[in-house]
Amino acid sequence: MKEMYPKNGRVILHVDMNSFYASVEMAFDPDLKGKAVAIAGNVEERRGIIVTCSYEARKYGVKTTMPLWEAKKLCPHLVVMKPNFERYRAASTAMFELLRQYTELVEPVSIDEGYMDITESFSFGSPIEIAESIQKRILEQLDLPCSIGIAPNKFLAKTASDMKKPMGITILRKRDIPSVLWPLNTNDMHGVGHKTAEKLKTIGIQTIGDLAKANDIQLKSLLGINGIRIKERANGVDFRPVDPESVSEFKSVGNSTTLPRDISNQQELFHVLEGLADTVSTRLRRKTVMATALAITIRYKDRKTITKSMKLLNPIHHKEDISEVAKHLFLKAWNGDPIRLLGITGNELVDQDHAYKQLDIFSFEKDAKKEPLLNTLSNLREKYGKNIIESAGKHSKEQVENVGTETSFNKDFLRTFPEKRKDEH
């Protein structure tokens, strides 16, 4: 069986659960099978947003992030359910335990997908036999469907798993790239978003093939180092290892400051928190990570130090979001005494490539409107300095909204992995 494996290369699987949340609900309640099922926040509200839906619902045009009223208009018999965080985490844990029976080299990247390096797993059979075994066992033992990509690296494995859904198994070799990938538009490529695709069009790059043959200098000028990286991907080049420890490899990112004098004025302290949030945001973006938990540190003039932290429903890295959460934590922790030091730390960091926001009634419309502005402000601050633009909130009283404390069920399982390194400040 070993001769069915490459002598020098690797064999990587990408296992991607199909319509995970809806599938878990169907496994829990078999009466839902074959029905159009959607998971949505605030199911009683007209403004609710679809988080995910079954393939039966997708046949009617129902899509993720679609307003609930629109989904029901397309599919009047749609069964809408609230998300069950614990149920999804339990299913995810069981799925990853099964994957680790084939190899220790399993890298979770979200609650419903992960990479496996099976290069040394030939005792279980050929790569296709292992993929078929995994798919069959997940279906039989957990009653959940999945798609699997087989390839020599992570990028191609991820691309392959997206090609046949649900319950597909796809092999993608480097020699297949010119015929399979290059004819596709760049926005069909994993790791290239809509905005990047639009930028690429400005220099005449429409397809993945165009990107694969693009000029390095042009790409770097347009997109920075990321331009070179996505060109390598377009050519099937990806040396990233499957790393089981990757979920804990990122250090926490934080910033603290000793105040010039002991301060007890809330607005002054809020201003300090805004500055700290700006620095933490910049550091997160430079590392291309997002925080799924946030902590603040308060040191009083008597040197008594306390910390307050919270898990976040969604990963964050924008200054405005960090500042809002930090102020919320501050108001819960502060006893009113004069403060000598303040700090903000982003914890449980995740790669931006794998940070998926769970859209809900409170965030979807607001976030959709804010995103272009936030990106513009972020770019301006990075280019011209953090003081180039100040928000109106610095000059008026700010109302701190209640921030949801429910665990993000898409990144929730990552907390089971041990923290191995100290915080970075």
Per DSSP, the three-state class of 77 is coil
CA atoms of 33 and 292, how far apart (whole Å)? 33
**Tens digit of each residue's pLDDT (9 = 90 or more) over 239-288:** 999 988 776 555 578 899 989 899 999 999 999 999 999 999 998 888 78
CA 411 from centre of chain: 8
Q: Which one, of 315, 323, 325, 319, lies nearest residue 374 by Cα?
A: 319
Any residues with CB less than 8 A from the CB of 52 and at least 6 apart, and which? 19, 20, 21, 22, 38, 39, 64
- Residues marked active site are found at 113
Q: What is the pLDDT of residue 380?
A: 58
109-157 tens-digit pLDDT: 888 999 999 999 999 999 999 999 999 999 999 999 999 999 999 999 9
* pLDDT, mean of residues 287-300: 90
Convert the pLDDT of each residue in 38-49 to its tens digit: 998 766 655 678
Q: Please, which pLDDT band fits residue 412 given cuts at 50, 70 and 90?
A: very low
Q: How far apart are CA 41 and CA 362, in angstroms?
A: 9
31 DSSP assignment:
G
DSSP track, 328-392: HHHHHH--SS-EEEEEEEEEEEEEGGG------TTTHHHHHHHHHHHHHHHHHHHHH-TTSS--G
Structure tokens at 147: 């798609």
- Cα 403 to the center of its chain, rounded Å: 19
Which residue did the predictor score with more confidence, 319 or 407?
Answer: 319
Residue 16 labelled as part of a binding site: yes
* 412 labelled binding-site residue: no
- Evaluate if residue 411 carries a pLDDT over 90: no
Set out the domains of the chain in order of their start, with CATH numbers: 1-173 (3.30.70.270), 182-234 (1.10.150.20), 247-416 (3.30.1490.100)
**0.75 surpassed by pTM:** no
